[in-house]
Structure formats: structure tokens, C-alpha cells
Chain A
């Protein structure tokens, strides 16, 4: 129960936040942070349960017929994520309270942030994949709201829209994958999916499912080639970047990948697709991070690279790699959240995020500097921080990969060198470097801005010094991903071995990269001029060409000309008949001409001539009269074939129609704007073809036997049932009495209508 309650609680807080803000004013952030803190502490208190391999389940029926229910399943993996989301969430609420102090829409900001937090908590705790999808889309939407928070800004609006389109679309692709999964296994529950993992992997639909699910992952977790929305999303307020775009939301894709690892993982397709995707992202992210100058953009690209690393490790899916992935996930969340918040604090205090003009801040912002330094060291993998342990494990996992080892190791070392360089640029230089332009008027940030970063930085240090503190968090998570019990012991110091030497080389390489930063920036600027093919532009172009396609087909189909529409309708009609005729060979055409008289032929000729006249004439009146001739001709045929009642009706209708037409056309001009001969020819051909097809159909239908006519029933039963000898009278007042009543009604209504019309006319005459 408490699982669902947690999510509801956060959503309730989201709804109430603007009101609370009005009540509490400046301290709202602190108060609201109590909610995630409570969640955090509550779950932390249950740590032994999870360590023992326990899990929490809760299920409430929602729409059983759809297989959709509120079922939650908190296992080791979810547990780690819940702690991250609630812990970092609390810090970000406090931080956001300080950062956006006095912003007119701060209440709305809290609201969006909590909405996101609730969705994210729901996402990581959901057992039902559909529920997961729902929360997945909710994180996309709340992320949209947060990125576009400064909606007066064109850039923010564009970035928000881009992020929403990409992650939202990815979500729907994921839904398609989930639907297929459910189609195979008959259930959307992850737990039941797990039991049928083998069936899924054997299924011919395995590859489509994998591709669709990965479609969700690449978009959400900003993998190449969909990585570009993430740096764009940096136009969000910094607390948002710290929370969504580094620590939590972008990890939703990772979460899903880890979650489905026991079901979809372990195959060759998985291995190559996921690993390659991760490797490319890692490399691209690292390379693009180097030439930046904005603190946040550095961090954004290095996040892309880090996400690539985790995906790569999950793709390898050895136990060691999984361990490395999970521990790196934790480390990255800790130091990235810290660095983002530090960047925010610096921006808040100095008014700039440009690394070129920052330096020497340690003198005015000592606490922030300390947090930044610790995080930067963790990021570059210095002992004794947790980042060091993580990097060692990472290298080890790559070395032990059977087939791709050298390549992956190469990319890995390079990416980590870049990480070191970025860490120095973001976490060291602005604080300990030469004092820059924006420095000395700044003050230490207020408590709300440094508390969070400091806590995370110190946590990273503590976990590094005493790795046993971290294992209870990591072990259940790894076990959940591998779906088996995994033993986990971490050591800070492994002695001097190849992995350690690699680490040293990485740090040295990173420092060299940092030294060469100006050259790299110049190189990067030069390269950018040639990069016409970057994915962001491809996205724009893709969107444009989709629009162009849409416009083209709309113009093609929806031109607005009625005659073409009718032409299309006639052609489809003829085509369908032709198709059916060709399909069915049975039924031969009987050429029995014995019953045809001269009169029939004469009538047919007259009707044909009249029809031709209709199509040829330039006068409306002639056309109407010719149409009348067609109608009367048909009536005469009916007379000949002994259907006088039908003929009478036909003649009356024809007369009425012709008279009405004549009245209407009396004042209209002659036809103008006639079709060109070519078009006429085309229309004639189509008309002839359709006519021909229908004729064949009618000839085939000739052999019909119609049942006995109704009239005999009335003739026989007139006396028996209604005691009347005049059959017509009996039909009118007995057999079809209701019809007669209806006709009387219609006539009287018509009479009333006439009266009303006359009355209206009098009125309007008298008024005018």
C-alpha cells in the first residue's frame, strides 16, 4: 500500500505546491523537501530487507480486461532508484527554492518539479509495463513543462518542444514494443514476463520488440543519434538540469534497459546493438564536451557520454559489467547533481557560466568550492573517492570482454580522459584557477544552494573511503538486473595492476587535454563549420520533410474539386466491381435475345441519345429536358414490362424534377468554363469502363428468380382476415393502416408548413 501512497503523496504535493508557496513564501522549498526526505528515510530504514533479497509488491485492480492494473514491484533496482530520486529530489527542491527566489512563477515551478518526481517514482516502482509507460510519458510531459519554464524565451520553447517530441515519440515506440511483449506473453506484469523470458527470446518477434524498446531507451537516455535534445534542454533553470537531465529522467532509459535485461538480454542482438550504441554515445558525448565553454553545456555533453558508458556496460551484460554499470550510475548521479548545482550556485552568485571568465572563486565561495572539488575528483576518478572504485571496475569489465575488448577499452580510456579534463574545467579551475573577470564581488552562496552539493560530495567521499557502506545499496540492484544473487565486495585499493596503470594514464591524459584546451576549442570551432550533418539539423530536416510529405499528399488527395472527388468515387466503385468479377469466375452470361422487341430498341436508342445530349449541350434548359427524356424513357420501359405502379411514380417524380429544375435554372446563365477535350475524353473513357462493368454484372444477374409477389398474399387474405372485398381499401385501412396514418400525418404537416409560409410572407410584406 505505501508504495502507491508514496506516488499519490507526491502528486498531491504537486497540486498543492502553488498554494503552499503563497502561504509559506521563501521557505517553501525546505518544507516541500520534507516529503522526499521522508520517503528517502523510510526506504533507507528498510535497507536490511532489500539486502536480504526482499521486495515490496502492491497491486490494485484498475482495468483488468486490459491487463492494466496499479501493480508495483520494488526490488533492488527500484530501491536504488527510489533512493536516488527522492534523495536528489529533496536537495533540488531546497536548491530550487534558493535559486529561483523571488521568481513570479516559483509556485508553478515546485508544482512541475513534484509532478516529475511523482512520475519518476512511479516509473521505477511500476511492475506493470503499461503503468511504467504511463509514468514514462508523464516524465516527458513534466520535463517539457520544466524546460519551457521560461516560455517567453524562444530558445527555451524550441528546446522544450524538441525534447517533448523526441522523448514522447520514443515513449510511443516503446508502447508498441510493450504491446508486442504483452501479445506474446499474455501479460504486462514484469514479474510474469520474467518467468517467460525464454519464450520471448525464442519468439520471431524478439528483434522487433528489442528494437522498439531500444527506441524508447535511446530517446529518453539521449543516446546517439538522439542525444541532441539533452544539451538543448539546458535552457531549463539549473535545478531542473541538475535533477532531470543528469541524475534522474535521462536515467529512466537506463532503468528500463536494466529492468528488461533479464528478459531481453543475453542474446547476440542485445550484446552488439546495445554495446555499440553505448560506445558510440560515449565517444560522441566526450568529443563534443571538449570544445564547450558554458559550464552547463560541458556537463550536458559529459552526461551524454556517461549515459553511453552505462548503456555500453549493460550491453556487455557480464556480471562484472553490470556491477560496473550500477556503481557508475550511483557515482554519476552523485557527482553530476553536485556539479550542476554548483554551476547553478556560481551562476547565481556571479551572473555567468562562462568558464573563460571564471576563476579564483575559492576565496569568496569556500564551501561551494569544496563541494565542487570533491565532485570533480570523483568524476576524474581520484582515490579515495567512489569515482575511483567505479572507474577501476569499469576498466576491468572492459578488459574482460571477450570480443570487443581493445576497441571498447580505447574508447573508454579516451572518454575518461575527457571526463578528467571536463572535471578540471568545471570543478577545479573556476575555483582554484587564476581569478577571472567575474570573481571578487561574489559572495558565498546561501545555505540552500550549498547544502545539497555538499551532502552529495561528502557521500561520494564516504562511499569511497568505506565501500562497505555502499554495497547494501548496490548488491540488491545488481542482483535484480542479473535476476540472480550476486555477491558484491568493493575495495578501494586493489594494488598496482594493469587497471590501476590505466587509471593513472587516464588522469595524466586528462590533464594534458586540459592543458591543450584552447587548441581544442579552436579545432572544435573549425570543425563545427563543416558539420552540416549533425543530428540536430537532421532532426530539423526530418521534421521539415515529414511536413513536406504531408503537404504533398494532402494536395494530391484533397484538392477540393468536387468533380475529381466524384471521378475518384466512380473509379473506385468500378474498380471494386471489376475486382470482384475477376475474383469469381462462376456465372456465365446468357445471350438470350429472343424477348427483345423493336419498341425496346427504339426506347433504348432514345434514352441513349438523350443521355448524350445531356453531356454535349451548352444550355441548361436543354440538359434538363434531355434528363427528363431519360426519365420518361425508363418509365416507359417499366410500362412495357408490366410495372405500371412503378412507372406512375417515376413519371410523377420526373415531372416534378423537371419543373423544379426549370424554375431554378430560369435565371441562370449558360454553361461556361467547359472541360478541355482531353479531360472529356478521360471522363468518357472512365464512364464507359464503369458502365461496361456494371452491364456485365447485370447480365450475370439476369438468371434470378424473384419470389412470389406480396400482392397475392393480400388478395388471398383480404376477405379472410379483414372481411373486405375491395383489396385496395383493405390494404389502406387494415393491412397497412399505420402507413396510411403516417401519410395523413405527412400531408397535414405539409399543409401546416404551407400555412406557416403564407403567414410568414404576409408578415414580411406588412413589415416592409
Chain B
């Protein structure tokens, strides 16, 4: 599962499994039945429709659905990783940035259904390859995505098939994109009658400048008129021409019937010639209509004979309607993978993920619409899409029984799977030696079934979703949830405390409740060691960047304490090598510092300032500093420079640089307004938050 924030962790987990596999493979092959080695269900463009039909049935019957996503990256720059000094709103902005920039390339969906007769779960793991290919619409920029080199390398390490993804991946439209495309379609059709009215005026605009054009137009006029006269003669029962004659005159025209009317197909003309023909038809023939019909994949131009003006209008209307219908069908087809999300959403099943806040953000961004700018607005969006989400990582960390089972080991997906579901992980099967408390999971792929299936393809979305589901099923069993009772899992009292609670950031233990939108920090034993650390008070924090690289936290602290006193600096934390957070002991010191800094910058040539303790900090003249709210703004920016100092400069110079700088100048009033802005968050979060100082 790539969405685990720390990639290093995942790699470590991988090396462990690598060494483990050879150890237990002999035993597994010994127990394996032939059926257990079948492949996971891979779904691509070619088998999507049929798979979707099956999936609908499986999801409808399921008790819960486990999901997992593989993305092209996690953080768009190193400083966008999760930090101790990130407030809840900043954490959300970082997740939002990730969901906006990176693409989802694989989507695992695994419905689990309890079979009371077999006393076992039936799982249907699906592994969807998806790719943001643009199928409809004109605007390409929204489809562009970012790749984090290390993540791509990571996917490659697990044999991810990039060719399959790009060539065969299923495309999709979000609900918002669909609405846009439909709007475009309908507005263009609304204006079309207008255009046809002004065509007579437009014809003048088609310039007949070239001699060749004039000749061509004359020739076409004659040919069409011949064909037209022929038609009338036949109709009036007049004498027919000899076949040879008609062949000569109409050799480039092929007479066909279009909606019971005689018509000519225009083949082998250039687009300019077609435009000229169109103008000739519209100018010189009242009973002929020039229309464009789509012939499966390509467009075909035809000229149709109509009996009357009324008939012509009728024909045009018919043609327009069929165009509209076709476009609608194209849009319907372009929705693609979103049908799966719509299915999960409409069935209101319990969605199970492992550390899935980022996954859910990706789903909302890719399949619903643009993400709102704040966590408060985002939470109802999630609730509307998925009313019940459970995060197995929360479950494992928050529940005492499960923590005991986990023996306080890492709650990474692979590790948790190996500990909680050894009977599945090892492929031995739940019979015989397995403990009574283990839940049996039977896997079904198409017509093949196995009670000890294990593809072992870790970091493949479909298999990861399967593991997540198994962990959840096993956890429910440990919690004493009775699957056989007819009550739904979403109504289970024992789960109520965990449903819709997600880790905003796993490393800091920040949890968001999707029902209420409230945030809190986990107070489990895991995080207890942090309580001795100084608390993070956001109004006391100043962010400094762009100083010379030789300056380390110690030097910065020294120069600050020389001015503001020994106890003035509570902690210093490096974002990257170009920037630090400094927490002062009092919020006033933030404004004092910013004021002093801007004063010194104004008089930087004065001799006394060379001896000032800040001179080291300001050396080079590129040092910038700002309060915490500016940090939030920098995180909000769509720009992603690798180094924080470059990012801060780009954001500040380009957008509201003047505003920010002047904020730094008007320090007194600004300090007040600051505390007013974030008093709510500061009170709720700042007080509780623990901190690791450097």
C-alpha cells in the first residue's frame, strides 16, 4: 500500500517479506491445492464491462468492501511530507496537494461476503488498472499528473506493469468533469441553430481567393446540379439517362439513401474542399442539406435531398438529435471506472481501507470533483460519497484486544496480515493446525474458488485490498462480532467507535472524525512518550528560510537567544536544509522577531548591524521569515519546488508577496489578528499536541 506515508517503512517491510518467503514456500506448495494458484482478477479496458456486471452483484451481496490504491507518488516535494509542526489544517492541505497532483494507476476492490453455510467469508479480489486518459472534452490540462521518481521506482520493484496501465488502463470522468462535459455539449448544441441561421452571412466569409477554389466550386455546382436534376427526372418518371452518362458525371458521388431520402456520400475530399461544397450546397440548392453523420469512429459528409423546407428542417433536427445521443453515449462510456465508485457509494457498504485518508482523498478528487480548501468542507463531501469507512490501522492501534494480538509490533499492512491472518498469509489454510479463533476466507475469481488462496503480490492494489479485508474480518472476530447474526456490520456497537475515524497523519496520531469533522490526537500508549516534550503552540511559531546552508539549528538558536534571552526559544525543527520552524516561548516574540528582522534588512549597511547576532542569520540577503499562517499559505500553493526556500520565494514573490511582507511590518495588529484567526484550532489542537524538539 503506497499510501502509507513513510515509504522507507514500506521498503523495510518488503525486505522482511523477501527474506521470509523462501522460508515458508516449501510448506505452502506442499499444502497447495491446484486451484489455489490462480491469478487475481485483473480488470482493464477490454474486460471492464463484463467485470463491472459481476462486481455489481458481488458488492450488493457483500458485508463490506475492502479497497486499496496505488499512486504515482505521495509527496510533490520533500517538505510536503508530514511534520510534527503541522497543524490539522496544514495536514489536510498536504494530503489535498498529493491527491491533486498524483495519478491513481491501480485500484483494488475486494467485496467480502459471509457465507453462513460454509462459516467462511467469500472474497472477490479485483485489480483494476486505471489511467487518466482523456476520452471526451477539449481541455487537456486537468489530466496532467505528477510522478514521484522514487514511487515509480518502488512500483517497478514490485513488477508493476506500466504498459498495461497506459495502454489498457480504464479511463474515468469525475462527477464534476462529467457535468462540465455535458454543459459544454448542451451549450454547443444550443448555439447550433443560431449558427445555421447566420450561415448565409458566413458564406461570404469563405474566401474564394484562389483560382483553383473558384474552378472547384463551379465544377461542384454543376455536378451537384446534374445529380439533383437526375433525381427529379427519375422522380417525375421522366426519361432516364444511360448508366454510362451518369457514371461519368457522378463518378465521385455515390448515391445512397439516408433516412429514406436520396443522398450523396462525399468521399475523398480535403477538408477545405468539403467546406467549399458546404457553402455551395447551402447557397445554391434549397432542397439539399449538407450534413455530417458519424459512422462509428469517423465522420462522413453527405448531401441529402429533401422534399420541402419542412422536410429539411425535420431532417436537420433528426441529425442533431442523433449527434446529441451519440455524444451522450460517448460521455457515458468515458465515465469508465467511476461506475465502480458510484456503485460503492450507492450501495452504502462499509468501506475498509488501511491508513486510507489519502486513498479517500484521491477517490474524492478523481471521481467526485475538486477538493475543497479546508478540512471542514471536505468532511461532508466524504460522508456523502461513503457514509461508512473503517480504517484497519486505527482499529489495530486503538483497540486494546487487538493491540495485544499484535504484540505491539508494526501495524504496516503486510506485518498486520502476517500476524493476524497467519493461516492465509502462509497459505496453509484454516483447517487442521489453525487456531479456532481464525476466520476462514475463501477467494473466488471468476469460476475458480480456493480456501487457501494467496497470490502474494504485495503492493498490487487488488491483493492489498484483499489483505486489508482479511485483517478487518479477523479483527472483528477478535472483537467478538458475530457475523452470522443478521445485523449489519455498520450497525455493530463494537465498531461504532472506529467507523469514520481516519488518521489524518499516522506518524503524529492525528485523527479526524468524518461524522463531526472534529480532530483529535490519539492518546494511546504508542504516543505516550511524546507527552514529556514541549507543546506546540502555533501562534508562537515563526518559520525562517533561505539562510546559508552552513547554519544549523544550534547556530540559529544561539543567535536568537542572544537577542531574546536564553529561554526565549522553545524548540527548533528543520523542514529541510533550507528552512526551520522556531517556536518561541511567547507569541509576542514572533512579531518582535519579524519586526527586528525587517528593520535590519532596511539598514543592512550600517556598521552596528554587522556585529548584531542576527547578521549570521541574514547573511546572503535571501533570508525570509514569516508567521505560521504564511506557512499554511505556502502549503496551499499549487507550486512544488524541491527546496522550501525556493517554494517560499516563489509563492511570496508571485502572489500576495506585498501583503505578506506588509503583514510582517505591521506586526502589532497582525499578532492580534493571528490569534483571532486560529484561536479555535490552537486551543483544541495546540494544547494537546506533543512535540519532538530537535
Whether A and B are associated in the same complex: the answer reads: no
**Residues of A that sit less than 8 Å from B by CB:** none
**Residues of B that sit less than 8 Å from A by CB:** none
